Structure 1
């Protein structure tokens, strides 16, 4: 796994201008399944420490009026991959775009907008995140989240396949 620039082939590349935070990790493609299937497989096996961090996040932000996102692994294991449509909740995210080669998930709240892309490349899979913050609250929120995010994404990616 290596950190790379957000690929031009990703829909998130156009969201880079003005982003407060962005990152992208590339890994060998585990297999030829649609990328949504890879994502669902990975989040279903989210490391327990990630779920504990999400529970802590939800408890800390509740008094601030921010959304309780639940857990990263809050997906229906019985729902077939091809039944997902834009607008569906997938764990902590809403599905914004789905094709065999790219999935874009996101969440928006009054403090920030985050989008995550899983994009099939010729030489692997790129998982990109782009965050646009709103207000001081978004900047304060990202202070602890950004370094944790850089640990969480690779840990979840290692669960793919």
Structure 2
């Protein structure tokens, strides 16, 4: 059985909610989540561990192209130490292409900042569901590209 995923505003319970004003882009999707003892970070790690190979190939292509114009190579979405337990991660640690910005049992916020844009992603457990939200702030024309 496939979970129903619905588009919604960024939840008020998420730390990203207050980052939406002035954002160039933001979205959020929610699905029901049965009782699950995993933390928001563990849910995220379990998800990116199953990143399809074609996504990693696209990230490798992206990294090869943007490195030629001076942007950083982010690596792969699932490029992290899979033996490291979720409880060992602290804000400032790198998890794949993102830096861990905030972690609690109910929400993990990851992001990446560059001269041209700031991206933040949240996985937030609230009200019997799981929401994944994205907020992007663009700083210069290259961020639009």
TM-score by length of 1: 0.84
Partner Cα distance (2:37, 2:26) in 1? 26
Partner Cα distance (2:71, 2:32) in 1? 36
Query: Which residue of structure 1 lines up, in the alignment, with residue 49 of structure 2?
Result: 44
Paired residues in the alignment total 140
Which residue of the other structure, out of 134, 139, 143, is the alignment partner of 1:134? Answer: 139
Q: Contact 1:55 / 1:71 at 8 angstroms: preserved in 2?
A: yes
Q: CA deviation at 1:99?
A: 0.3
Cα RMSD for the two superposed structures: 0.9
Partner Cα distance (1:3, 1:64) in 2? 34
Q: Contact 1:119 / 1:125 at 8 angstroms: preserved in 2?
A: yes
Which consecutive residues of structure 2, in runs of 5 or more, have no partner in the other structure?
none
Which residue of the other structure, out of 5, 17, 22, is the alignment partner of 1:18? Answer: 22
Partner Cα distance (1:24, 1:135) in 2? 24
Partner Cα distance (2:31, 2:57) in 1? 25
Matched ranges for 1:99-114 at <5 A: 99-114=104-119
Which of the two has greater strand per residue? 2
Partner SS state of residue 144, structure 2 = helix
